[in-house]
Amino acid sequence: MKTLNSLATLPLLLVSLMLADPTMTRAVEPKEFSIVAWNMIDPENPALGYFKDPNQFEIMKDCGFNVAGMLTPSLLCSAEKAGMKGWLMDPELHSALDRLATEKVPLTDQRIEEIVEKMVKEHDNNPAVYGYYVKDEPGASLFPLIAKIGAAIEKRSKKPWYVNLLPTYASAVSQLGAESYDAYVREFIKICKPKYLAYDHYALMEGGKMRAGYWENMNRLYSIAKEYNLPVIPVIQSVASSIYREPTETDLLFQVFTHLAYGAKGIQYFTYFTPRLGNYRNAPIDQFGSKNPIWYDVQKINRRLEILAPKLMDLEWVRSYHFGNALPMEYGVVGADGTALVKDVKNHDGTTPNVLIGELKDSSGADYVMVVNKDLTNSINASLTFRTTPKSMHEFGRWSGKLEPWTGENAWLAPGEGVLMKVVIK
C-alpha cells in the first residue's frame, strides 16, 4: 500500500473479469460515475485499516459510495449483501507480482494465462466484483507486463481493467522510468491500451499550503486523456499523514470540483479507512471503526455527486481557464482568451475572484460551464460576463439537480465549492 509520504504509489488498478469466448470484443468502459472508497481491505492485515465489522459496507454505502476499495475474496459475500462492489485483490495474482518485485521470480506468459483463467472462473460472475486490482502506480518498465495481464483478462471478460498512474512529482528516473511525465502517460496508453485513466496528486500540505504542480498534473493528464478520448477517474486526498494536513470539507470540495471542471468521470477517496500506521489520521473511518467528523462531509459531497452524476457522464471536457489576481505559474494554466465562453468574473465587491472555469459540452452539443471558487477561505458572489450574451443561464441545482436561475442566493459559492451551469448561447 502506498504511504502519504510516497503518495505516488496508490494501488488503483481496476481489472474486470467474466468468463467469455476468446473472440469477445474489448472490455467496455464503466458507464456510471464511480465514487470509490479507496483502501486495500484485508481482514488479515489490520495495518491497512479497521475492517472487522461486515456492516461497514452498509456504512460505506450510506456515505454515498458505489464502489468499495480493493477487496479480498473473503469480503465479497458481505459486500454483495450490502449492494456494494469492489476491485478484487486476487491472492494468486498478487503473490506472483510481489515475488517478481521482491525476489525477481519471472511471471511468464503461460503463468499469467493460468492465473487469469482461474481468477475469472472463480469470481467474475459475482456481482460484488466490479473489476480486479492489478497494480498501483507502476513505472514504465512494468507496462509490458500489465498489457499482458490486461489482454488475458479481456479475452475472458467484459469488465474493465484499470491502472492508477503516478503524479508529476514522481521521480522521472526512479519512479516514472520515462524521460518525462507526458512520455510516461503516452507510453502507458500505447502499450497497455486502457479504457480509462486514473492518477493521484496529493497537494494538501500542513500549514495550509498547496503542493506546487497540482494544476500542471491536471493539465498534462487531462489533455492527453482528451487526445485519446479516455475518461479520467482521479484519486483525491481524504486522510492526513506525515506532512499532509487533515482535509477539511473545503479541501474536499476544492479537489472534487476542480476535477469536475476538467471533466472527471468519477472520484476516488484515498483513504476511507484510516490505516493503522504512523500518524495517519482523520480519514472518514478511524482506526477503531468509528466515524470521524469528515465522514459526514464526504457523505454530503457524495450526495451532491449522485445528483450531478447522470449529467456529468454525458459531458465532454473542452478546456479550463482561470480568473484572479495571480494565476498559478504552472504548465497549462491560462486565463480566458478571445474564444473563451466566459469573458470576465466579478465578485460582489467588484474585484476579480480566484475562479476556475471548466467548459464542457453534452452529447447534444449544448454548452455547460463548471464554476469553481478556488479561494479556500472566502465565499464569493460570482457574476459572469460571457463573450456572447447567452439567451439563458441556469445552475444545475446543488440539491435538486433541476435547472435553477443563477441569481440571488444561488450566485454565492462557498470556499472550494463549484457549480455546474447550462448556458444557451444561440
Q: Do residues 264 and 363 share a domain?
A: no
What are the residues facing 420 on neighbouring strands?
Answer: 370
CATH number of the domain to which 244 belongs: 3.20.20.80
pLDDT band at 46 (very low <50, low <70, confident <90, very high): confident
CA distance 198 to 268: 9
Q: Do residues 256 and 372 share a domain?
A: no
User: Once rounded to an integer, what is the mean pLDDT over residues 385-400?
Assistant: 94
Q: Do residues 299 and 321 share a domain?
A: no
* Contact between residue 381 and residue 361 where contact means Cβ atoms under 8 Å apart: no
Q: Do residues 279 and 330 share a domain?
A: no
Amino acid, res. 114: E
pLDDT tens for residues 8-22? 333 333 333 222 333
Q: Do residues 387 and 305 share a domain?
A: no
Q: Do residues 233 and 113 share a domain?
A: yes
pLDDT tens for residues 101-147? 999 999 999 999 999 999 999 999 999 999 988 999 999 999 999 99
CA distance 279 to 272: 15
Q: Which of 254, 281, 312 is the last residue of a domain?
A: 312
pTM: predicted TM-score of the whole model, two decimal places? 0.92
* Contact between residue 217 and residue 167 where contact means Cβ atoms under 8 Å apart: yes
pLDDT band at 79 (very low <50, low <70, confident <90, very high): very high
% of the chain exceeding 70 in pLDDT: 92
Beta strands in 230-351 (DSSP E): 235-237, 266-270, 315-323, 342-346
As a residue count, the chain comes to: 426
Q: Do residues 383 and 299 share a domain?
A: no
User: Once rounded to an integer, what is the mean pLDDT over residues 275-284?
Assistant: 95
Q: Do residues 331 and 232 share a domain?
A: no
Q: Do residues 260 and 394 share a domain?
A: no
Q: Which of 286, 312, 338 is the last residue of a domain?
A: 312
Q: Which domain holds residue 336?
A: 316-424
pLDDT tens for residues 196-245? 999 999 999 999 999 999 999 999 999 999 999 999 999 999 999 999 99
- H helix intervals, 74-180: 76-81, 91-103, 109-123, 143-154
Tell me which of 328 and 46 has the higher pLDDT. 328
Q: Do residues 290 and 403 share a domain?
A: no
**How many structural domains compose the chain?**
2
Q: Do residues 196 and 345 share a domain?
A: no
pLDDT band at 376 (very low <50, low <70, confident <90, very high): very high
Q: Which three cell numbers stand for residue 343?
A: 469573458
Q: Which of 271, 286, 312 is the last residue of a domain?
A: 312
CA-based end-to-end distance of the chain: 51
Q: Do residues 70 and 217 share a domain?
A: yes
User: Once rounded to an integer, what is the mean pLDDT over residues 43-65?
Assistant: 84
User: Once rounded to an integer, what is the mean pLDDT over residues 27-47?
Assistant: 76
pLDDT at residue 140, rounded to an integer: 97
